[in-house]
Structure 1
Amino acid sequence: MPPKKQVEEKKVLLGRPGNNLKAGIVGLANVGKSTFFQAITRSPLGNPANYPFATIDPEEARVIVPSPKFDELCKIYKPASEVPAHLTVYDIAGLTKGASAGEGLGNAFLSHIRAVDSIYQVVRCFDDAEIIHIEGDVEPARDLEIIANELRLKDIEFSEKALENAAKIAKRGGQSLEVKQKKEEMALIERIIELLKSGQRVYNQTWTPKEVEVINSMFLLTAKPCIYLINLSERDYIRKKNKHLLKIKEWVDKNSPGDLIIPFSVSLEERLSHMTEEEMKEELEKIGTQSALPRIITTMREKLDLISFFTCGPDEVREWTIRQGTKAPQAAGVIHNDLMNTFILAQVMKYDDVVEYKDDAAIKAAGKLQQKGKDYVVENADVIYFRSGAGKN
């Protein structure tokens, strides 16, 4: 008997499906969230102020994604129009201890976090007598614990409600598929509640594709990828030293293992945001450091499993954003629904070949232009021309 063919389980990504994903800026009041939002978006939106709840309704803006490959393609094609990729960022009001129980407009703010796909958690590590700290003093590990507890407590509440709803169906009894599924869901949700009560985040665990589908339906706050942004004084950022950094690393390793910690300085980034590109370059060379914003943006895209493909020509070079694992017709649909619905094929050039040959005709003559069908999974930095039955290319 030949061995049974192994059926590979389809990977299901944790989180909301789609390509237009949003990152929310989260943290206690007065830690630098709104100033960071203004610096990263280079916009006057947000409301930096030295008091809690200066921001109530979340502000939204799009951030240009730094992309050396996009810049290189623009040099090659010299297009009339250049359209880079964007990441949507929300400035969410500061949380307080007790937010999960409704303190400090907590329920509204937690619902704003539920609506985003990932979290930038800003943690204050600078002393400034003129900027009050809502907890009285600067103690980052404590602040991390407050935010983590509020998100976990709210997730326990969401999970217990989901458990209650699943139990109503499971109690009907019988052998129906729905009853069986709900019993399995109950077992999973009970595990999630136990996990949350032990101090862990849902995101940092390993789940099967079937479990991920259930978790995604629950919209849990701790199931979102998180990057910890450590807001240092400009002086500490430049010298790469701060007395709190080790304790922060120990906390993250224990409570959010595998998640990224990025030190930065809101005061420096805010100052740079008012400069031209040339002025910024000169200032950074003078003080001997780099802006942390490019890394902050690109690593969040990676956390969200986002990649890019390009459409290139003399009229326009554009960078398009898709989720990892997207097939060619769905990638075409990001450009226009008609391209997906009447997809015929994708003509794919690899980025490295475009850089080497610098001419579409030369790439084709070298046999490097690939014809791909509907099962082709688009790879990061592919340059693609789509052909469809709608007369669109």
Structure 2
Amino acid sequence: MEAGIVGLPNVGKSTLFNALTAAGIPSENYPFCTIEPNVGAVSVPDPRLARIHKHIETDRILPAVLKLVDIAGIVKGASEGEGLGNKFLSHIRDVDAILHTVRCFEDEDVTHVDGSIDPIRDIEIIDMELMLADMATVDTAISKAQRLVKSGDKETKARLASLEKCKAHLDQEKPLRGLDLDEEEQRLLKSYGLLTAKPVLYIANVDEDAILEDNDHVQVVKARAKDEGGEVVKVCAKLESELAELDAEDRNELLESVGLDEPALDLLARAAYELLGLQSYFTAGEIEIRAWTIPVGATGPQAAGVIHSDFERGFIRVEVFSLEDLEAHKTEKAIREAGKLRVEGKNYIVQDGDICHFLFNV
């Protein structure tokens, strides 16, 4: 599962990406500075790992990881190929969710591609380009489905109906993420990689003056997100890039000086993780304590499969206990003796924060 960071040129996308991944790649103050998408992985901060480690000694601790793609700045006309737009839009098609970075700061030294700071205009430019790309995809798919539906195939008929539903919504200049699609319709449409159907998290990139108190630009972005039923994470990409280069002691000192408890990027990583419908379960032993990433609703065998396919294929059962049980009883042995260790089968839905031990046979 991966998220793509999108936005107009010079809104702070690459600075944000570099801070998140500690890639250290300098950003440049001109459009189209990234020709191929940068791909990186970011750890998802989870204080539960440290809490587990207090009771289970281990050689290493491994957090969950989120894959990020830094996609080059999109401009008006991208859907028609402007600024290598078609190439960039194809990169968005491959991601599972969109992190839409919006410039919410004033700086005369950083040019804006449209000459002024207007977050809603910027959001609407990106939305329109993605909708225009989706319109072209849907129109082509409808034409093909109309030819094939004459054969009487029921699935093709259902797919055509779903595509026509999307077209009607797009014709109203509304992103598909606001369209109510059931599970079957989503399945039928999945192969098209429709851009505006992807979930979106807005990232309001601010200057240091707006770290604690929202400026006017942030307020309008939050109002826009609220209307869409979405979320906003406020980030000062410039500050976060400085924090990424410091050791823990200096980082904490700088955070304290600006009034923050943790880097805003920690909030962003967790928010993106949730946006993708992901959660973590843990394994814990002498070699490692590790957070494993699974979709919400994954069964025991599916969760086991992220460790190794043999675990899923030969799944017998999973032994489960909670972090609260570990903190109450201190050891797995004591948890067993207290009758708090649960044994679950193939239909068990793994819960966020479960500490699991899988038994399998292949």
TM-score range, shorter chain: over 0.9
Cα deviation for residue 303 of structure 1 reads 1.1
CA–CA separation in structure 2 for the residues paired with 1:31 and 1:274: 21
CA–CA separation in structure 1 for the residues paired with 2:52 and 2:342: 19
Q: Deviations over 1:107-162 (max 9, x none)?
A: 00000111111111111111111111111111111111100000011011111111
CA–CA separation in structure 1 for the residues paired with 2:24 and 2:217: 31
Cα deviation for residue 217 of structure 1 reads 2.3
Cα deviation for residue 342 of structure 1 reads 1.2
Alignment: residue pair count = 361
Choose from 229, 245, 249 the match for 1:274. 245
Choose from 118, 127, 131 the match for 1:139. 118
Question: What amino acid is aligned across from residue 36 of structure 1 in structure 2?
Answer: L
User: Counterpart of 1:93?
Assistant: 72
Question: What amino acid is aligned across from residue 22 of structure 1 in structure 2?
Answer: E
Question: What amino acid is aligned across from residue 127 of structure 1 in structure 2?
Answer: E
Choose from 169, 192, 199 the match for 2:173. 199
CA–CA separation in structure 1 for the residues paired with 2:94 and 2:358: 33
SS in 2 for 1:299: helix
The answer to whether the 8 A contact 2:105-2:217 is kept is no
**1:380 counterpart = 2:359:** no
The residue correspondences of 1:355-366 to structure 2 (distance < 5 A) are 355-366=327-338
User: Counterpart of 2:343?
Assistant: 371
User: Counterpart of 1:111?
Assistant: 90
CA–CA separation in structure 2 for the residues paired with 1:205 and 1:68: 36
Q: Percent identity?
A: 39
Q: Under a length normalisation based on structure 1, what TM-score does the superposition of the two structures give? A: 0.89
The residue correspondences of 1:229-240 to structure 2 (distance < 5 A) are 229-238=203-212, 240=213
CA–CA separation in structure 2 for the residues paired with 1:338 and 1:223: 34
**1:344 counterpart = 2:316:** yes
Cα deviation for residue 253 of structure 1 reads 4.0
Choose from 322, 334, 339 the match for 2:306. 334
The residue correspondences of 1:225-264 to structure 2 (distance < 5 A) are 225-238=199-212, 240-254=213-227, 257-264=228-235
**1:184 counterpart = 2:164:** no
Choose from 19, 25, 31 the match for 2:5. 25
The answer to whether the 8 A contact 2:9-2:31 is kept is yes
The answer to whether the 8 A contact 2:169-2:179 is kept is no
SS in 2 for 1:311: strand
Q: Deviations over 1:64-117 (max 9, x none)?
A: 110011121122212012111111111110000000011000000000111111
Question: What amino acid is aligned across from residue 229 of structure 1 in structure 2?
Answer: I
Cα deviation for residue 39 of structure 1 reads 0.7
Q: Deviations over 1:184-210 (max 9, x none)?
A: 322221111111221222223322111
Gaps of 5+ in 1: 1-20
Question: What amino acid is aligned across from residue 64 of structure 2 in structure 1?
Answer: A
Q: Deviations over 1:319-362 (max 9, x none)?
A: 10000111111111111111111111111112221221120110
Cα deviation for residue 377 of structure 1 reads 1.1
The answer to whether the 8 A contact 2:314-2:361 is kept is yes
The residue correspondences of 1:289-300 to structure 2 (distance < 5 A) are 289-290=260-261, 291-300=263-272
Q: Deviations over 1:356-386 (max 9, x none)?
A: 1120110000111111111111111111111
CA–CA separation in structure 1 for the residues paired with 2:94 and 2:191: 13
Q: Under a length normalisation based on structure 2, what TM-score does the superposition of the two structures give? A: 0.96
SS in 2 for 1:87: strand
The residue correspondences of 1:217-232 to structure 2 (distance < 5 A) are 217-232=191-206
CA–CA separation in structure 1 for the residues paired with 2:115 and 2:211: 23
**Worse overlay, 136-145 or 104-113:** 136-145
